[in-house]
Amino acid sequence: MDYSFSWKSRKAAKGIFQLWQPGRVLLSSFLGCCVFILLAFGGLTLFAQDASHVGDDPGLVRLEKEIARLAKGAQGVVGVGAIHLETGREVYLNKSVGFPMASTFKVPIAVKLLSLVDQGKLKLDDMIPVEAGDRRLGSGTLTNLFDDPGVELSVLNLMKLMLIISDNSATDLCIRTAGGTAAVTQYMRDIGIEGIRVDRTVLGIINEYLGIKEIPNDARITIEELMELLKKIPPEEQKKAGEAFNADPKDTTTPEGMALLLKKIWNREILTEESSALMLDIMKRCETGLGRIRGILPEGTVVYHKTGTIGGTLNDAGIISLPDNAGNIIAAIYIKESKVENEKREQVIAQISRALYDYFLFNPEVK
């Protein structure tokens, strides 16, 4: 999730709401010595980097190596799924490894919503009531702006809030409107994507990350009630919950799975032309994570993307449009279990994004 709090939320949560970084696993002294010796002589990296590619372009091997080199800066596990849409060339790093989606799970949620619109089961102007128990911690504006009863927002407005500013309250309302998390996951299977699973609401994800066990996944609970429960959880239990969260397969994607979903959106394989264009237009207006995929791309580069952040996880998944008819690149970049601060993680994503941009800009065709 994108847990960037407003000043008001920070003040309310000060001293009791802490997002814990995953703890290090202690090795035995013997194994620790072996690892140290191997690292000292350049024979081992602590984090496996399984690189691969699809296509006859011999330069992809060099691109693989460069991505793997840049990934080391995250001091964690990095996943990359990249596809040059016009030529079908693909490059992967840890393509089948599961990564916490955080707020990138809002992409499959939006796709499921739009599929219901295409089927005539839902209208974009349908109005959805926002109750006090629908407000969520974390990113967005609904929690701070709409704390009084009597508010209704359209499906379209909720989807825009979810994708553009990563509003967590809007997201849970979108999940409910889409038929629940199981319906989103089933739709992924229906369209041929195995690597993405959506299991929990934002409320469920936050609660499990912080160690709050008393609240159902789809509950309506006020922020004030949630904060009271959080006060009762010792910091040690919160830390253990954060460590367990990182190993949880729920709400994860593989780099290949997210890249495939973005490809299907771009190619109009799963949604109508109108819904596909709407989805991409909203993603193009994403306001979060500007230092990630967009970070060091040339000014004015068009990027359709969605970011995600929680604990040791930091992500960005989107489509980069190249100039001079060089095509478009899918870039699904995921980092988990990282031991460096967010700024350095963002730099890794930005550097990998730029490597992809430069390679396919100067090699738009298979030679």
Question: What are the pLDDT digits (tens) for 53-69?
Answer: 898 899 999 999 999 99
Distance CA 257, CA 243 (A): 24
In-domain check, residue 352: yes
* pLDDT interval class at 274 (50, 70, 90): very high
Residues 298 and 223 in one domain: no
Query: What stretches of 119-180 show up as alpha helix (H) in DSSP?
Result: 142-145, 155-164, 168-178
Q: How far is CA 130 from CA 45, 133, 142, 203, 366, in A?
A: 49, 8, 9, 15, 51
- Better pLDDT: 47 or 212: 212
In-domain check, residue 30: no
Helix 106-118, helix 155-164: angle, nearest 10: 160
Q: Tell me if residue 71 falls in helix, strand or coil.
A: helix
Note whether 55 and 87 are within 8 A (CB).
yes
pLDDT number for residue 20: 30
pLDDT in tens, 130-183: 988 898 987 777 877 766 667 899 999 999 999 999 999 999 999 999 999 999
pLDDT number for residue 35: 36
pLDDT number for residue 48: 57
What is the average pLDDT across 266-292?
98
What is the average pLDDT across 8-32?
35
Mean pLDDT (the chain, rounded) = 87
10 Å CB burial of residue 327 (0-12, 13-18, 19+) is middle
Angle at 243 between CA 229 and CA 92, to 5 degrees: 130
Residues 235 and 109 in one domain: yes
Number of domains in the chain: 2
In-domain check, residue 28: no
22 pLDDT exceeds 50?
Answer: no
- Reported in sequence order, the residue ranges of the chain that DSSP labels E, i.e. its strands, are 51-54, 77-84, 89-93, 99-100, 127-130, 151-154, 252-253, 303-310, 313-321, 328-336
Residues 67 and 216 in one domain: no
What is the average pLDDT across 288-292?
96
Final residue in a domain of this structure, among 223, 246, 269: 246
Task: Among 8-12, 48-52, 100-104, 287-291, name the one with the lowest average pLDDT.
Answer: 8-12
Residues 241 and 260 in one domain: no
In-domain check, residue 35: no
The residue segments making up the domain with residue 83 are: 50-103+251-362
